[in-house]
Structure 1
Amino acid sequence: MRIQCVVSYDGTKFYGWQKQPDKRSVQEVIECAINKITGEHNVIHSSGRTDAKVHAHNQVFHFDTQKDIAFKQWKRAINHFLPEDVYIKESKRVGEEFHARYSAIKKEYHYLLSTNEYNPFERDYIYQYPYGKLDLEAMCDCAKLFVGTHDFASFCVYDQLGTTIRTIYHIDIIENDGYFTFKLVGDGFRRYMVRMIVGGLIQVGAHRRSKAFLADLLESKGEKKCLFKAEPQGLYLEHVYYE
């Protein structure tokens, strides 16, 4: 039996999604909770990894089990054994052909930034930008560079095992009383890709770099690297889309 779950988590005290030796990970705490219910050695498969201090509103994972309980009860059962910074929002039974990662058709990330006076209560959830105002119009114009299908090798960390060609469907940037929300939707994102794109856009918004500078980075297809990576605490995996 294959179970699909939607989970939200506060990434502040995690070293990321992926299980690591002697490090607290989201994957580990969820697998421990499920194993207490099933008595099995269940492995969960997510739609993708998130890094240390990165949050998720709607991460998706699946696992296989021989434990026969009502599929809607998995949500309540797993949550019983989870810490307070992780919460299962939904559980359902799916077919064997479903895979949380390979069945996904697009993902949506949000990045939150504040140009207001420093707020210690927001420091783990919104990037507290310390350098003054940002030019929203300039960032929105520059964001158009990344929409479409491109080789994003200059804007991610990659290896030889996977392609760096990705399609971004749209990037929206909204400002409200000094709070900026960057919304990126694409068919997939390589490691640090969202943070590097946002980091580059912030440089343009601060008038430290130009649109032409980022265009040159993108066109270099990895020969030149983006050195601007937005802080992790402002990043949220917002939604994973399936057919």
Structure 2
Amino acid sequence: MSGVNSVKRNIKLVIMYDGTKYSGWQRLKNSEMTIQGKIETVLSKMTGEDIQLIGSGRTDAGVHAFNQIANFHTTTLKKVKDIKAYLNQYLPKDIVIKDVKEASERFHSRYNVKEKTYLYRIWTTDYPPVFEEPYTIHMHQSLDIEKMNKAANLLMGEHDFQGFSNKKTKKSTIRTIKSLDIIKEKDELKFYITADGFLYNMVRIIVGTLLEVGEGKIKEDAILNMLESKERENAGTRAPAKGLTLQSVKYN
């Protein structure tokens, strides 16, 4: 099936990407190396239309995604399986379309999000990883995971997370963290963070802060002052981008 239809379809994509070489998700005027830009270019060529891709949210330069969600509108009559095949044929090999589906007319991949889960990975042996190097940070010094969990518990629930963001905004900075699990699995320490939404750099600042708690540089109850002050300078350092992966995005 080819050609165009007078009625626009709403197409939903599930995307996996290695963000190492890219300047983040969002299309930029001064860079061709963005995830959104690469996919839009291929879709526009495929459909003959000026495709505007809507993502569930932005990921920073160097951040990865296992299940990023996006949607676009088109009049093409191509079957979803053919759209998927075309995209995976012409996209760079570090961007993969895992699934393509018809979505309802009202589906919006950003506005309809109910929660997101991010994973942050740390390699903990006394030697750096080889095969996992692009997706983890290497940190072999001793960490007090018990203290890190105590500090993490103070971040749970609804708070104003302005102090855990690198960008000032007039919009609400209140978010609800639904779960924050720190799990040791063999040679890795993994942070799983689920919330109804995240501010700019929020996950990386939370991880960086908790790591400083684990190192003994910050006391675990200092988290309360960070939340109350709403000042970025009171929180810990921002963890490097490459350890972060968007794991999942959930809708109703």
Q: 2:65 aligns to what SS in structure 1? A: strand
Q: Is the 8 A contact 1:12 1:53 kept in 2?
A: yes
Could you tell me how far apart the structure 1 residues matched to 2:124 and 2:180 are?
20
Structure 1 unaligned regions, length at least 5: none
User: Paired residue for 2:185?
Assistant: 176
User: Aligned letter for 1:173?
Assistant: I
Q: 1:144-181: CA deviations, max 9, x gaps? A: 01110000000012333421100000101100233101
Alignment of 1:234 with 2:211, yes or no, is: no
Q: Distance in 2 between matches of 1:73 and 1:181?
A: 37
CA contact (8 A) 1:59 1:240 kept: yes
Mapping for residues 121-140 of structure 1, pairs under 5 Å: 121-129=131-139, 132-140=141-149
Amino acid at match of 1:15: S
Matching of residue 206 in structure 1 with residue 219 in structure 2: no
State the alpha-carbon separation in 2 of the partners of residues 67 and 241 from structure 1.
27
Is the 8 Å Cα contact of residues 165 and 232 (structure 2) preserved in structure 1?
no
* Counterpart code for 1:8: M
Alpha-carbon distance between aligned partners in 2 of 1:47 and 1:14, rounded to the nearest angstrom: 18
Counterpart-to-counterpart distance in 2, 1:168 and 1:54: 20
Superposition deviation, residue 234 in structure 1: 0.4
Is 1:19 aligned to residue 24 of structure 2?
Answer: no
- Between the aligned partners of 1:193 and 1:80, the Cα distance in structure 2 is 35
Deviation at 1:220?
1.2
SS of the residue aligned with 2:133? coil
Displacement of 1:76: 1.2
Q: Which amino acid aligns with 2:72?
A: F
Where does residue 168 of structure 2 map in the other structure? 159
Query: Which deviations, in whole Å up to 9, do the C-alpha atoms of 1:31-84 show, x marking residues without a partner?
Result: 011111101110100000000110000000000001111123321121111000
Q: In 1, Cα distance between the equivalents of 2:81 and 2:180?
A: 35
- Deviation for aligned residue 1:106: 0.4
Q: Distance in 2 between matches of 1:112 and 1:231?
A: 11
What is the CA-CA distance between 1:224 and the residue it aligns to?
Answer: 4.8
- Residue 146 (1) aligns with residue 161 (2): no
> Number of residues paired by the alignment?
242
Alignment-derived partner of residue 39 in structure 1: 48
1:7 aligns to what? 15
2:156–2:178 contact (8 Å) kept in structure 1: yes
- Secondary structure, aligned partner of 2:153: helix
- Corresponding residue of 1:196: 205
Q: Give the distance between the partners of 2:234 and 2:60, measured in 1 at CA.
A: 20
The TM-score with structure 1 as length reference comes to 0.95
1:159 alignment partner AA: K
- Does residue 61 (structure 1) correspond to residue 61 (structure 2)? The answer is no
Matched, 1:105 2:105: no
* Aligned CA distance change for structure 1 residues 176 and 160 (closer, same or farther; 3 Å): closer
- Quick check: 1:139–1:202 contact (8 Å CA) kept in 2? yes
